[in-house]
A and B are shown apart, each in its own frame.
Chain A
Amino acid sequence: MPYIADEHRRPSSDELRARIPGWGADLDPADRPSVPRERTDLPTGAHWVIPENQPELQPRERSIEHAKLPPVFGTSAPLHGVSGVVRRYAYERFSEARAAHWLLLIVGDRIDVAGSRVRSVFEGQPDNPITETGIRAEFGNHPIGSRFGRGRADTKHAWIDPLIVIGPTALATVAVALIVRGLRR
């Protein structure tokens, strides 16, 4: 009978305890380490009030929602080139609340990718679309059996994915070619 709360088809606790390893071991919320959500009695191993400042060897971009540069940060890929200009503008001008902040960062990402393609050629490590896409994993890993006859939802959009992924780059390439041709004339 629908709409009656106690009509749920649930096995008894004893039945579940017998069937599921460890069933109910954390029934008491006290045994769930993140309950309550906020706790102030956890030792962390920190022996500072605030960590020492990591040296800022080159200007480090930061969100304008931070009052100052936090003491610790990553430096895996410092800003550089045109993408660096776009990204720096996104950080200096717009808070995280603004769509422009994130959209500019995405634009910076695309410029970064395009620039890195060209740079990699001059650095003697040109990008290789075969090895870098991992397409060789198709061999020996059931490329057809994994995809077809299984009702996968993602096969419905698989046909359009390459167009969407490669399309903007292709359009940009055509646009640049047209501009260059126009300038030559």
Chain B
Amino acid sequence: MKAMVYRGPYKVRVEEKDIPKIEHPNDAIVRVTRAAICGSDLHLYHGMMPDTRVGSTFGHEFIGVVHEVGPSVQNLRVGDRVMVPFNIYCGTCYFCQKGLYSNCHNVNPNATAVGGIYGYSHTSGGYDGGQAEYVRVPLADVGPSIIPDWLHEEDALMMTDALATGYFGAQLGDIVEGDTVVVFGAGPVGLFAARSAWLMGAGRVVVVDHLDYRLQKAREFAFAETINFTEVNDVVVELKKQTDWLGADVVIDAVGAEADGNLLQHITAAKLKLQGGSPIALNWGIDAVRKGGTVSVMGAYGPLFSAVKFGDAMNKGLTIRTNQAPAKRQWPRLLEHIQAGRLSPRDIITHRIPLEHIAEGYHLFSAKLDDCIKTVITTD
């Protein structure tokens, strides 16, 4: 089969690999029909996540058709069209029993902080991802769901991570009616977080980024006010000014480890890997939220320490809520929203490219060429 293969920072190629095999009785093999490149894939692509091994295949956003099932699989049949949440989890461990699927303790030998994620380095369990023609789906009775006939395949694809994570980011903010919500980052997850904030009753939604075309999308898709932080002297002061000098009620960090905005932070973190990520967006969030407010973090950070302004967070009495999204917990409600016409997730997709051109897809997305917001990989 053809699969994207990591060759080192900023280098990927398509190689012939063996079709994955059933390695556990509850595995399924899924023939991938659509995959996506996620913003957090760029952290791997840029060599930021420790233990990203040459030869591994990325891709935690994908949908497909069940090709083979292991002997203990009960809930899926060959031929089922499935969407697969980016989390791999067992469903019964201490954490899964509490619904913390992203923190499953039974699927990731390499680390205890995070559960299993498809194609996300050995730090997340060493699983190959879905930017390939076939992928191994472990614990297939727990993760995948059959795609409803009425659901557009690209909407299903967005459910597997970007939409679920954006919605989750808004949830972590504990938004109440009338709240002023600031979203840092106008990538796919930030756009979905901003849109979700309205569903939860926000009174104002402000999106911050440095790319005009993404801010335009935030205005059109997420009905948000926008700030280009390169056009203001100090984005925190600007946000204070716009919130009667009190600060926002909720700030959502949808940026994560490779935030731009401070050269020193960018070099020490994103380039030299001396921090778990450049915490610029997070620190701006801590500064821009009001005292007693909530900072929601689902932008991805690496496991090393980062120079976070925790003193300010403590002195301001902030609530900081974080996690990887338990994607499948969101699906029933998100399906209702899509069916009711409240959300059309595929509207954020800007580029569709065949798997053979995935190196170009990564470069396009990484370099932010051609107003790229979301790239979908096709395998047929």
Contact = CB atoms under 8 A, between A and B. Distances in A.
Interface residues of B, number: 117
Which 3 pairs, one residue from A and one from B, show the smallest C-beta to C-beta distance? A22-B342, A134-B363, A44-B91
B352 interface: no
B13 A164 contact: no
Contacts of B152: none
Contacts of B243: 8
Chief secondary structure at chain A's binding surface: loop
Nearest to A48: B92
Interface string A72-84: 1111110000010
A90 to B, nearest CB: 8
B122 A77 contact: yes
Interface of B: 7-13, 15, 23-26, 47, 50-57, 72, 74-75, 88-93, 96-101, 105-113, 116, 122-123, 125-128, 138-139, 141-142, 168, 171, 174, 177-178, 180, 196, 198-201, 203-204, 210-212, 223, 228-231, 243-246, 260-261, 263, 266-267, 271-273, 302-305, 325-326, 329-333, 337, 340-343, 358-364, 367-371
Contact of B178 (A10, A61, A91): A10
Nearest to B344: A21
B110 A151 contact: no
A25 B108 contact: no
Given A10-B178, A21-B341, A44-B96, A72 B116 contact: yes
8 contacts: A24-B198, A33-B329, A47-B74, A51-B106, A96-B113, A116-B8, A116-B54, A152-B210
A161 B367 CA distance: 12
Contacts of A131: 13, 359
A2 B245 contact: yes
B32 to A, nearest CB: 15
